[in-house]
């Protein structure tokens, strides 16, 4: 067997299908001499037998190490420049009560994007002063809860929200801590649905004055917040998108924000104490992705900010960042059990006469536990985890069990030809945006989540049962 003409150009033909590329798998994921994969020394067969499949396995030690990596890497780079950095974990990427406790224990702050995420963080005992609340359309209840519980920053997204928040703060007898989310116009090279700083999308306050207006929405917003007795102007926020590898976008956004901050200072005498540059650091889903280490990202961002500050007459504001995926993503992997398989023969795209094979391997989950391939054309990788095989690698598509042909788990991967019924397959880098975006489509039961730490596994979210399917029926 050789390379398939159906394979995408980034996918290389493996010399060894049992190899676990460390860029994609959590630090605790290894293959034993027996051939079986272990996560934090726990064999996958034991995980499957104890907790069932599909199963989201979160390597807690890896998660914590990545969280610390951001805190340490960014503080080292920014210490002398801006007096350090506050790291807000973007909880939308993976949130359970226990995950929130890990984040607290590692000394990070937390970004929540809804009342529900806020409720989970508070339930975990997370210090509200270290929480930032986001959302482009927060409800009065969400804002009130944030005010009543003493959330440290409310990231206001629109002009109308300013007045709504001010009224709620006044009736609660408090002053609301406000950050303003601006759209820098920086276009990040990522899927358009997860790029967020270009003009033509729903988030944030524009930095460009509307036709006929003297001031941009961003400038109007800062003036309104700074003047209001029930609002406390903390600073500005920018998030350019997600799954971004190049440093240029982050640096360009920081440059625009700092120039805006300097203009506020000279034109209006308004000081901006804090600047949040959002999250979005990319991770490796496949061998083609080349993520950068947090300390590298921090160094290039600090270099850019240092250069910008040299031409401005402002002090560096307190910087914060909001990584989500880069902490939770590589820590998680999903264990599936293989069921049915088949081989189809399709036209050779190079025009050769003979049709070429593609193997389909169906697993016991799919778009309900990972909607990312369907939503964003996301690519993943996989490995046969319960054993090694000497069989030839063949181009394989791992699919789910839903009633949709787009229900793909891993679009293109080379797997041993004998991968079959009852084998266990491990899909890495599913820690972020899988559990939190899972659904009950086709009334499938959402998988359990297991955390692995210090060589042992424990359940942190139990598998759903039929009772959960009926729970909301009236």
Binding residues for substrate, as ranges, are 325, 372, 376, 404, 433
Closer CB to ligand LLP, residue 54 or residue 393? 54
Marked catalytic residue, from 82, 316, 403, 434? 403
Task: Record the tokens describing residue 51, joined without a space.
Answer: 């907790």
Neighbours of 273 (CB within 10 A): 14
Q: Which residue ranges make up the annotated binding site?
A: 280, 322-325, 372, 376, 404, 433
Residue with Cβ nearer ligand LLP (47 or 118): 118
Residue 298 to residues 37, 130, 238, 311: CA-CA distances in angstroms?
33, 21, 16, 21
Residue 274 pairs with which residues in a beta bridge? 235, 318
- Nearest CA to 98 among 276, 331, 334? 331
Between 138 and 325, name the residue whose CB sits nearer to ligand LLP.
325
Of 216, 334, 327, the C-alpha closest to 264 is: 216
Q: How many CB atoms lie within 10 A of CB 398?
A: 27
DSSP string, 75-98: HHHHHHHHS-EEEEEEGGGS--HH
Q: How far is the CB of 410 from ligand LLP (least distance, A)?
A: 16
Alpha-carbon Rg for the chain in angstroms: 24
Active site annotation includes 403: yes
Q: Enumerate the known binding-site residues for pyridoxal 5'-phosphate.
A: 280, 322-325, 433
Contact 236, 180 (CB under 8 A): yes
Side-chain half-sphere exposure of 473, counting CA atoms within 13 A = 6
Q: Residue 238 Cβ, how far from ligand LLP at the closest point, in Å?
A: 9
Q: Do residues 326 and 281 make contact, with C-beta atoms less than 8 angstroms apart?
A: yes
Taking the complex as a whole, the smallest distance from the CB of residue 88 to ligand LLP amounts, in Å, to 8
What are the C-alpha distances in Å from 97 to residues 100, 313, 431, 457? Answer: 5, 44, 15, 17
- Calpha distance 64→232 (Å, rounded): 33
Of 40 and 371, nearer to ligand LLP (C-beta) is 371
Nearer to ligand LLP, 244 or 457 (CB): 244
Least spacing, CB of residue 391 vs ligand LLP, in Å: 33
Smallest gap from Cβ 326 to ligand LLP, in A, equals: 6
Q: CA 360, CA 352: separation in Å to the nearest integer? A: 22
CA 257 to CA 277: how far, in whole Å?
9
Measured between its terminal Cα atoms, the distance across the chain in Å is 57
Q: How far is the CB of 54 from ligand LLP (least distance, A)?
A: 17
Report the nearest approach of ligand LLP to the CB of residue 393 (Å). 28
Cβ-based nearer residue to ligand LLP, 407 or 423 = 407
Nearer to ligand LLP, 81 or 194 (CB): 194
Alpha carbons 320 and 86: distance in angstroms, whole number: 5
Q: Provide the greatest CA pair distance for the chain.
A: 77
Q: List contacts with ligand LLP (CB under 6 A).
A: 90, 92-93, 111, 134, 194, 239, 242-243, 278-281, 322-326, 372, 376, 432-433
155, 180 contact by CB (below 8 A): yes
Supply the residues annotated as catalytic.
403
């Amino acid at each position: 067997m050789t390379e398939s003409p159906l394979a995408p150009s980034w996918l290389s033909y493996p010399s060894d299908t049992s190899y676990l590329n460390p860029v994609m798998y959590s630090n605790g994921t290894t293959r034993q001499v027996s051939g079986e994969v272990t996560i934090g020394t726990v064999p996958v067969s034991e995980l499957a037998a104890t907790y069932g499949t599909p199963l989201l396995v979160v390597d807690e030690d890896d998660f914590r190490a990545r969280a610390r990596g951001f805190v340490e890497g960014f503080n080292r780079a920014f210490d002398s420049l801006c007096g350090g950095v506050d790291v807000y974990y973007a909880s939308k990427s993976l949130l359970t009560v226990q995950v929130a406790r890990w984040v607290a224990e590692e000394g990070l702050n937390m970004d929540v994007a809804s009342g529900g995420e806020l409720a989970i963080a508070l339930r975990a005992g997370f210090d509200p002063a270290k929480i930032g609340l986001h959302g482009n359309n927060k409800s009065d209840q969400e804002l009130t809860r944030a005010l009543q519980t003493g959330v440290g920053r409310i990231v206001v997204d629109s002009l109308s929200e300013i007045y709504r928040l001010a009224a709620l703060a006044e009736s609660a007898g408090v002053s609301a801590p406000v950050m303003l989310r601006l759209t820098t116009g920086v276009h990040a090279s990522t899927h358009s649905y997860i790029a967020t700083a270009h003009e033509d999308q729903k988030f944030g306050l524009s930095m460009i004055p509307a036709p006929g207006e003297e001031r941009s929405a961003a400038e109007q917003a800062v003036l309104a917040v700074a003047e209001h007795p029930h609002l406390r102007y903390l600073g500005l926020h920018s998030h350019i998108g997600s799954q971004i590898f190049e440093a240029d976008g982050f640096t360009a956004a920081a440059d625009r924000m700092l120039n805006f901050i300097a203009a506020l200072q000279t034109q209006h005498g308004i000081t901006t104490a804090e600047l949040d540059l959002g999250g979005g650091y990319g991770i490796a889903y496949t061998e083609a992705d080349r993520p950068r280490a947090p300390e590298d990202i921090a160094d290039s961002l600090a270099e850019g900010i240092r250069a910008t500050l040299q031409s401005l007459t402002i002090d560096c504001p307190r910087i914060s960042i909001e990584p989500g995926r880069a902490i939770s993503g590589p820590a998680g992997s999903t264990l599936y059990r293989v069921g049915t398989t088949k081989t189809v023969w399709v036209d050779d795209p190079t025009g050769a006469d003979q049709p070429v094979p593609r193997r389909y391997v169906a697993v016991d989950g799919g778009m309900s536990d990972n909607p990312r391939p369907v939503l964003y054309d996301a690519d993943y990788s996989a490995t046969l985890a319960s054993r090694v095989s000497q069989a030839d690698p063949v181009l394989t598509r791992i699919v789910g069990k839903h009633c949709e042909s787009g229900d793909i788990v891993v679009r293109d991967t080379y797997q041993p030809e004998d991968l079959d019924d009852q084998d266990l397959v491990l899909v890495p880098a599913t820690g972020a945006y899988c559990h939190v975006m899972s659904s009950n489509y086709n009334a499938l039961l959402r998988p359990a989540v297991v955390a692995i730490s210090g060589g042992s596994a424990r359940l942190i979210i139990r598998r759903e049962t039929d009772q959960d399917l009926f729970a909301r029926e009236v």
